[in-house]
């Protein structure tokens, strides 16, 4: 697509290379490069995208961003306005009484902005600008000394502006070093590829999407883009927004950048300029790309419906804690009082509203409300406020609201701590994983519905479902085959890859089935408690163990070896049949549960 | 949050109610309403949100939209420009030579726009405007006759503008009826709630989010919002974008609307005006909401990473076609050549690029590439172009690209048909469901790896895995217990809820397990082919059937009843043990598959 646009626009031969300084006049009018960089860091380039040229006025928004960081928005606004002038590119446009330049994209405003860059010496200030631009571009940048000398030799008009600004106390120091700094910022040598990445850094809230480094604090990006939006293309702003719909800035050497926030940045380089002072092909390329890629800023579909990835209750989907038949029976009904929202994407007002509204409407019918932030990419302060209000409402109604995996969204924790103060620890309940939160809620429900069984109790063999319907004699026979093993809390009972060996009857304590993740952490597949059986699948199909099993507490197990299990065929047919039937029953329960959960996630 | 903003802003008592016509001067300066409407149709309102007032200049962008629909963008641009004037609200601002009004938000431009509304009579034209506004607001609207008469009685300046426009041939008919239409459009009576919904309709690409009805074609919304963005707040545009960052429009009766594309619309009503002619509290509310809800248009996070919901291969996740052990063995390896991307959300350039890039990078290692559009909300023409190019690349490389559930995105089909022409039917492969596409790909891979078994063959009992290791005598005994059932293609073999009855040995044909959906369609849980066993779970736990089973072809089954199965305990222990062991083996395979798939989706 870029190649096609390049081919088409190469045909436009209108416009003239800038000649106000001899160095610029040397540019080849046929140089033509395009570079598009996505907010995810994909770089697409075509043509003369590595030809060097000077950044010129495209430096203005980036220096404006640095001035905002150095001085705060309030201070900067005192000295430079944000209204478009409707005037041509080299107009002076100071406000009549205050002398405040109308905006930072005209030369007067840019010189005032350069005067706000902090640093002890002229060298320090220049270095700060070069370093900042380098972060935007993702490589070290330097001055084109011959262009700089040429700019400085002929920059009488800009020196006049400097003195005028000093006269109005917009500049408060000697204006001459400020003018030099301005000549220098304009003489920074870049390529079209650099411009594409710099634009994409603005699109990516100040973080260079190729290097991952921050070039400007995210909070100031909207201000930089705002002045580009209204004042970036001189007196062509209205038509630009109408046709292209992206904040942009052009430079007299033939560069143009355009930024589509959250999506991409575009850099174009072609020296011939139109009467507005904008690159003819640069404007044309942006128009073409906006049209063919549908990039208009004001043509954005909604994405609120996407924010809830999964929505289910504790009746449809359970924790990996394996439950007894009785417990499962309770949870199939009582689990309806647990509601889970798995959120995804960016939590801003409009998306958060969709989720919160559903949670609030569900609240009367729920006891436990679980919000899973695992797949949330970003959350802003407004969303924090909405979740805080929701938490207050839930607490007031005696409901329990749980927050899952808030590591991705540290702002939420800070916000809640600041608002809740001494109530923070007791009110803001966070679990690292949805599974643990579900288990906790299930336990609360089960506690009220069933007699409590202590974790320390030893379960008699006759209570094991796998031995259901055994006669006393059969029990005694089987017991004779079992071997007692004892494990300390934390011991590994089975390793993934171990050969199939034994069936484990868990007499005391609890064990978890864990699967090592590429992240180094283990994901929990199941937790068994006393009275349950594990390791049966390897017993049946003889396949090596597929996961590791670890003792969560001090554990006692009775083990039936594979050999003894097989030998029952010859010695105790009735026992074997009952064992197999009970294992079948157990497997079919697990399969029903897995299928139910698959249909929830599918 | 709205209540708090309302409370805070109610304190601002500055500004004066418009008095240029007596009717407006009657407004109570304390009237104050706020209404926020999301693009999903949630309406939040506070204060005097149901107080009627006249829409005044807020009618301009909506009539501009109607003029675009009536005349096309090109024709409208010939008569009204799109550049901000930087002038005050009642300036005339015609271009010196052409007489073209600078933009449609100033009175001259709005009158020129009103002159472009089509309709045979003045009544028809007024009715079309009222009907359109009614679609935006979601209710029938009418004129405030006394305001209209007052406007008409005092509208000399606007009549002068009308004649001036006639002089320049911007208006080509008698300007007096046009001026009357303009007075009428300004005198339409609305509430703050109406304004909120009208704004949200623009945010929702022209579709009223409350009624679901289309008020303006989506393609023109960006143009309406563009002129609001640059010219909507008169000479306050730069500061407005800097501080508020939403396209907006104000009216002299005290109304203000602001639009955040894709997200929400805001309506505010408070009569006292500032020197720019904008509602004092209206401006303040928009600033407050933009700040506290973080609504600035240029501060948008990216969402490219969200576009791929799930990404897996045919080795991790299989179709619901139940496979033999041998087939599963082949698919665990060969399935890696099937790659699936489940897409979600809005497919525009920046999101589509993320998906396409991954698909393109995967292509060398894949044979089948499946793109699932089930959860795609919207797809634009640019995305179609990218998918088309991908399809060409895949075809050129001898890969098979499959598109799933493209019903949601009819544009894709139309685009492909137009581009592919006679190759359309053979190249653009669509499946209605991912499961069927996976099955088809698996079949392709299995055909090349394993000897083909005809669907019409009858499978001998000794080949059934459930009878594995049976001696000839045991086989004969079991065969004696079986009852032959025959079903026609389409017959229901088992209904959901049926009591547990028999184990089915599928001798010939194939059957599918179906679960009725709320949509009325059946979702397929599994398909069994000859040589397989079904119905075993109900046999083991005695629970009623959980799904229906239907014959996909003419089917022959051998049935083992629950009674006979139980009776084997007394009569043929060895047979029972082998059956149970084989069932256990089958169940544990199914459980392993389900757990693997859960971990893919989890």
**pLDDT tens column, A268-288:** 999 999 998 999 999 999 999
Q: What is the pLDDT of residue A303?
A: 77
Taking the CA atoms of B1, B2, B7 and B12 in sequence, report the sign of the dihedral they define. positive
Q: DSSP character for B207?
A: B
CA-wise closest residue to B274 among B520, B542, B14: B14
| pLDDT, mean of residues B213-242 | 92
Q: How many Cβ atoms sit within 10 Å of the Cβ of residue B154?
A: 14
**What are the pLDDT digits (tens) for A548-591?**
999 999 999 999 999 999 899 888 888 999 999 999 999 998 99
> Do the chains contact at A39 and B247, CB–CB below 8 Å?
no
With a cut of 70, say whether residue B455 has pLDDT above it: no
CA dihedral B446, B450, B454, B458 (to 10 degrees): -120
Confidence grade of residue B90 (pLDDT, cut at 50, 70, 90): low
- Closest residue in B to A349 (Cα–Cα): B293
> Do the chains contact at B241 and A226, CB–CB below 8 Å?
yes
Query: Angle, to 10 degrees, between the axis of helix A325-334 and the axis of helix A434-449?
Result: 100
Q: What is the pLDDT of residue A500?
A: 87
- Closest residue in B to A306 (Cα–Cα): B345
With a cut of 90, say whether residue B370 has pLDDT above it: yes
CA-wise closest residue to B107 among B18, B52, B199, B178: B178
Is the CB of residue A195 less than 8 Å from the CB of residue A267?
yes
In B57-155, alpha helices (H) = 59-71, 73-79, 107-114, 122-137, 145-154
Is the CB of residue B367 less than 8 Å from the CB of residue B338?
yes
Angstrom distance (rounded) from CA A27 to CA A14: 15
- Closest residue in A to B245 (Cα–Cα): A226
Interface A-B, measured as beta-carbon pairs within 8 A, has a size of 284
Query: What average pLDDT does chain A have?
Result: 93
| pLDDT, mean of residues A357-366 | 96
**What are the pLDDT digits (tens) for A459-479?**
999 999 999 999 999 999 999
| pLDDT, mean of residues A520-539 | 88
Q: What is the pLDDT of residue B292?
A: 92
| pLDDT, mean of residues B207-217 | 97
Confidence grade of residue A455 (pLDDT, cut at 50, 70, 90): low
> Do the chains contact at A82 and B345, CB–CB below 8 Å?
no
Question: Tokens 């139910």 label which residue?
Answer: A596
CA-wise closest residue to B474 among B375, B357, B576, B600: B576
With a cut of 70, say whether residue A326 has pLDDT above it: yes
Angstrom distance (rounded) from CA B64 to CA B77: 11
- Report the residue from B238, B264, B584 with minimal CB separation from A350: B264
Angstrom distance (rounded) from CA A312 to CA A314: 7
Tell me which H or E stretch contains A258. Answer: strand A255-260
Angstrom distance (rounded) from CA B212 to CA B69: 19
- Closest residue in B to A590 (Cα–Cα): B591
Q: Looking at beta carbons, which residues of chain A come within 8 Å of B599? A: 515
Query: What average pLDDT does chain B have?
Result: 93
Q: What is the pLDDT of residue B537?
A: 83
Residue to mutate among A247, A303, A332, with most B CBs inside 10 A, is: A303
Ranges of beta strands (E only) in A348-501 are 368-379, 400-404, 429-431, 483-487, 492-494
- Catalytic choice (B252, B280, B359, B550): B252
Angstrom distance (rounded) from CA B235 to CA B88: 6
> Do the chains contact at B303 and A299, CB–CB below 8 Å?
no
**What are the pLDDT digits (tens) for B385-396?**
999 999 999 999
Structure tokens given for A447: 């506690």
Q: What is the pLDDT of residue A450?
A: 86
Distances (CA, A) of B272 to B2, B25, B144, B174, B192: 20, 10, 20, 35, 15
Angstrom distance (rounded) from CA B29 to CA B324: 79
With a cut of 70, say whether residue A74 has pLDDT above it: yes
With a cut of 90, say whether residue A457 has pLDDT above it: no
With a cut of 90, say whether residue B82 has pLDDT above it: yes
Lowest-pLDDT range, A156-165, A519-528, B374-383, B574-583?
A519-528
User: Strand pairing partners for B370?
Assistant: B340, B402
Confidence grade of residue B339 (pLDDT, cut at 50, 70, 90): very high
Q: Looking at beta carbons, which residues of chain B come within 8 Å of A389? A: 1
Is the CB of residue A298 less than 8 Å from the CB of residue A245?
yes
Angstrom distance (rounded) from CA B412 to CA B392: 15
Q: What is the pLDDT of residue A90?
A: 60
Q: What is the pLDDT of residue B351?
A: 93
User: Strand pairing partners for A446?
Assistant: none
Which residues of A belong to the active site? 57, 60, 182, 234, 252
- Catalytic choice (B64, B148, B220, B234): B234
Provide the percentage of residues in chain B whose pLDDT is more than 90: 83
> Do the chains contact at A39 and B222, CB–CB below 8 Å?
no
Taking the CA atoms of A467, A468, A469 and A473 in sequence, report the sign of the dihedral they define. positive
Measure B588 CA to nearest chain A CA, in Å. 6
- Closest residue in A to B207 (Cα–Cα): A301
**What are the pLDDT digits (tens) for B427-437?**
999 999 999 99
- Catalytic choice (B64, B182, B220, B236): B182
With a cut of 90, say whether residue B504 has pLDDT above it: yes
Lowest-pLDDT range, A167-181, A481-495, A531-545, B543-557?
A531-545
Q: Looking at beta carbons, which residues of chain A come within 8 Å of B595? A: 525, 594
Q: What is the pLDDT of residue B91?
A: 66
């Amino acid at each position: 697509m870029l190649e096609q646009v390049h081919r088409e626009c190469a045909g436009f031969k209108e416009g003239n290379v800038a000649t106000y300084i001899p160095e610029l006049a040397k540019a080849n009018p046929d140089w033509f490069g395009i570079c598009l960089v996505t907010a995810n860091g994909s770089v697409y380039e075509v043509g003369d995208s590595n030809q060097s040229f000077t950044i010129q006025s495209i430096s203005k928004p980036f220096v404006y961003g640095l001035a905002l960081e150095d001085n705060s928005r309030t201070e900067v606004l005192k000295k430079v306005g944000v209204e478009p002038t409707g005037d041509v590119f080299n107009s002076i446009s100071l406000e009549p009484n205050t002398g405040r330049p109308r905006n930072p994209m005209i030369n007067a405003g840019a010189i005032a902005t350069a005067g706000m860059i902090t640093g002890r010496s002229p060298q320090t200030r220049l270095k700060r600008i070069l370093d900042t631009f380098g972060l935007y571009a993702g490589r070290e940048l330097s001055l084109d000394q011959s262009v700089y000398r040429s700019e400085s030799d002929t920059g009488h008009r800009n020196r006049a502006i400097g003195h005028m600004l000093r006269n109005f106390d917009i500049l408060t120091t000697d204006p001459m070093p400020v003018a030099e700094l301005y000549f220098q910022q304009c003489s920074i040598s870049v390529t079209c590829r650099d411009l594409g990445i710099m634009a994409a850094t603005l699109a990516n809230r100040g973080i260079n999407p190729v290097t991952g480094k921050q070039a400007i604090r995210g909070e100031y990006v909207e201000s930089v883009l705002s002045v580009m939006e209204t004042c970036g293309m001189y007196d062509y702003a209205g038509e630009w927004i109408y046709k292209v719909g992206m904040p942009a800035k052009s430079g007299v050497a033939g560069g143009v950048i355009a930024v589509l926030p959250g999506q991409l940045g575009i850099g174009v380089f072609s020296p011939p300029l139109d009467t507005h002072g904008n690159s003819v092909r640069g404007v044309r390329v942006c128009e073409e790309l906006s049209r063919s890629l549908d990039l208009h800023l004001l043509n954005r579909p909604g994405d609120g419906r996407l924010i809830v990835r999964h929505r289910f209750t504790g009746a449809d989907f359970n924790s990996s804690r394996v439950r007894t038949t009785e417990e499962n029976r309770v949870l199939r009904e009582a689990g309806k009082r647990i509601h889970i929202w798995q959120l995804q994407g960016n939590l801003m007002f409009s998306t958060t509203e969709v989720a919160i509204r559903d949670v609030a409407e569900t609240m009367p019918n729920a006891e436990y409300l679980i919000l899973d932030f695992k797949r949330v990419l970003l959350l802003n302060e407004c969303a924090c406020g909405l979740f805080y209000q929701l938490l207050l409402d839930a607490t007031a109604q005696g409901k329990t609201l749980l927050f899952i995996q808030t590591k991705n969204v540290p702002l939420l924790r800070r916000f809640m701590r600041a608002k809740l103060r001494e109530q923070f620890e007791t009110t803001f309940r966070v679990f690292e994983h949805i599974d643990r939160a579900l288990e906790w809620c299930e336990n609360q429900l089960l506690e009220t519905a069933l007699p409590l069984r202590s974790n320390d109790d030893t379960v008699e063999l006759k209570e094991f479902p796998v031995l259901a319907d055994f006669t006393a004699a059969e029990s005694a026979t089987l017991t004779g085959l079992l071997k007692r093993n004892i494990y300390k809390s934390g011991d590994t009972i089975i390793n993934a890859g171990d050969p199939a060996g034994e069936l484990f009857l868990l007499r005391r304590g609890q064990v978890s089935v864990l699967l090592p993740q590429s992240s180094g952490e283990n994901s929990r597949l199941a937790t068994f408690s006393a009275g349950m059986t594990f390791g049966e699948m390897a017993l049946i199909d003889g396949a090596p163990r597929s996961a590791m099993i670890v003792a969560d507490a001090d554990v006692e197990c009775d083990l039936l070896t594979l050999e003894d299990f097989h030998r029952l065929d010859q010695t105790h047919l009735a026992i074997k049949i009952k064992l197999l039937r009970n294992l079948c029953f157990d497997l079919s329960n697990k399969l029903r549960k897995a299928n139910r959960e698959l249909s929830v996630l599918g």
